[in-house]
Amino acid sequence: MALATLNDLIKITTKNKNAVGMFNVINYEYAVAMINAAEQVNYPIMLGVPEGFVKNYYDLDTMTSLLKYLATTAKVPVAIHLDHSKTFETTVKCMRAGFTSVMFDGSALTYEENVEQTAEIVKIAHAMGVSVEGELGYVGRNGVDQIDPESFTKVEQAVDFVKRTGVDALAIAVGNLHGNYSFEPKLDFDRIKAIKEATGVGLVLHGGSGIADDDFRKAAELGIDKVNIFTEILDFGKKFTLENLPDMTFLQYSKALADAMTEVVKYRMEVFTCGRTL
């Protein structure tokens, strides 16, 4: 199938009133496992690369070549996405490497700085055929930040932000936090619906690990187009390794982990798609 942009996928999720999953890729085995899951569910997927990985964990061109090959040979549309970039340099570098979608996270900046820097990224990205996700409101981190309705995304500001930046999608703060929740997260569904109706752009839910399946389905019906999952696959990989590695050869373990990861991603995707296929 084809390498897709976030915008291509939003057209599909808008029509189907559901969401695609974005899963961060740690290594080759995970990328293959994720593509396998997407093909089995028969729905598009987004392979995510956080800015920190580009800087600290692997060579960008090598990883992009690999992901591009997997995407173009997959049976479903696949987008290659930069997750939470806070710098102009990394964002442009990933666009040049061949990413089809980038998130520029200016949520820690002042509102005006966030508008200005995101708009600059959008101008370059759109000229290159790349989609852009911005962040408005502040999605904090479990263990560090509290749920604070004051930092939730405001409808009027979202309208202004979309108009002035031209972003294709918006990560919103609606009761979600990154990392592992120590409480049951409660999403502000009315706010999701209102932001979707007012802006018309794709909406993204970060901090998906730990949100109840039915809440995901409801959020997708009301306007969430993309859900980010990272903590869940990170934790699953660790648990699987501690439980299984002692009794296997490293080769057996690598294959078994990839197979198990396919099942984890498949389960999440089935929830996000609300049972619909391409």
Binding site, by residue number, is: 84, 105, 135, 178-179, 206-209, 228-231
Produce one character per residue of 40-60: b if its CB has 16 or more CB atoms within 10 Å, e if not. Answer: bbebbbbbbbbbebbeeebeb
What CA–CA distances, in Å, run from 252 to 20, 240, 245?
31, 13, 9
Phi, then psi, of 39 in degrees rounded to 5: -65, -40
SS3 166: coil
Closest residue to Zn ion, judged by C-beta, is 206
Binding site for dihydroxyacetone phosphate: what residues are annotated?
179, 207-209, 228-231
CB 151 within 8 A of CB 140: yes
**Catalytic one of 59, 83, 145, 188:** 83
Question: Rule CB under 5 A: which residues touch Zn ion?
Answer: 206
State in angstroms the smallest separation of the CB of 138 from Zn ion. Answer: 11
Q: Is 83 a catalytic residue?
A: yes
What is the SS3 string spanning 53-116?
HHHHCCCHHHHHHHHHHHHHHCCCCEEEEEEEECCHHHHHHHHHHCCCEEEECCCCCCHHHHHH
Catalytic residues: 83
